[in-house]
Amino acid sequence: MTKQCTGPSRRLAAALLGGLALTASFVAQATAAEGQLRIAKQFGIVYLLLNVVEDQKLIEKHGKAAGLDIKVDYVQLSGGSAVNDALLSGNIEVAGAGVGPLFTLWDRTRGRQNVKGVASLGNFPYYLVTNNPAVKTIADFGEKDRIAVPAVGVSVQSRILQWASAKLWGEKDFAKLDRISVAVPHPEAAAAIIKGGTEITGHFGNPPFQDQELAENPQAHIVLNSYDVQGGPASSTVLYATENFYKSSPKTYNAFLNALDDAAKFIARNPDKAAEIYLRTTNSKLDPALLTKIITNPAVTFKVAPENTLGLGRFMHRVGAIKAEPKAIDDYFFADPRIATGS
């Protein structure tokens, strides 16, 4: 369903595995190089901004406008834990993951690497889909069910499931469903829901995988919508980096934000072209009509300003998942006029 790393990306992925042994204290001494940008992304159309940025070479374009040749590499990972490890080991400059992993790393690195958000990748409703006809709400999942998430306990899907559990059973039981959750990449989890007959009966995913499940398995149905938990449209997937990169590579950083902003406008103007870019760059076999339907869904918005993210951070603080309490967007996102309007 997705393109595997090749060429420089494969070498970068291999370097990541070796680099994870580096200590955070060593990495903190490194200085980010202006003109170097390594970006980790995961699976799904929630990363469409990055697909368009890569295909149209928008970072390179804005770098040249600023008098800078920027070397850009992309690497495919799965799960917030792997992405966070890659960022702390100094093998990437920008991490792409859920806002849950961002809060975790923001809290853990305060006073050291000082990780903060760079931009949102847009607003998308995430669905917890099941192929078990007996499951109508999260309360119906039993010991024999398994819920696939990108990373148990730390991915944004897992955090939203914890938040929903806290609302249902009380905050002391926020992690009640962690024990039947398993870490599975979205493509494999979607295949399990569509095919059936495996221990995986639930998948808290993202588009297009959740949409494929609903379209291809008549028994598949939505148990939970992330927007219902978050209180409306929200930016569940974001980009983040260390303070070192933000401060020592201002031209690269600004070119990256400009490129993301351009990509958001491109998608809004050209949804069919954006769909074609996604299919080509990810080697996806998804029905183009279904993909365009996802992109033009009124509940989906492509933009760099984060929206409705603070609530999840406050929940994580209340249940002890993070020590520091985020109180405003500038606590956990780097300063930029386009970000300051976020929430």
CB 4 within 8 A of CB 13: no
- Show the tokens assigned to 182: 């398993």
* Domains observed in the chain: 8-124+234-340 (3.40.190.10), 127-230 (3.40.190)
Identify the burial level of 220 via C-beta atoms within 10 angstroms of its C-beta, where 0-12 means exposed, 13-18 middle and 19 or more buried. Answer: buried
Per-residue pLDDT of the chain (343 residues; tens, 9 = 90+): 333 344 444 444 444 444 443 333 334 334 557 999 999 998 889 999 999 999 999 999 999 999 999 999 999 887 778 888 999 999 999 999 989 999 999 999 999 999 999 999 999 999 999 999 999 999 999 999 999 999 899 889 999 999 999 999 999 999 999 999 999 999 999 999 999 999 999 999 999 999 999 999 999 999 999 999 999 999 989 999 999 999 999 999 999 999 999 999 999 999 999 999 999 998 888 889 999 999 999 999 999 999 999 999 999 999 999 999 999 999 999 999 989 888 9
pTM of the full structure: 0.84
* Residue-level length of the chain: 343
CB 104 within 8 A of CB 80: yes
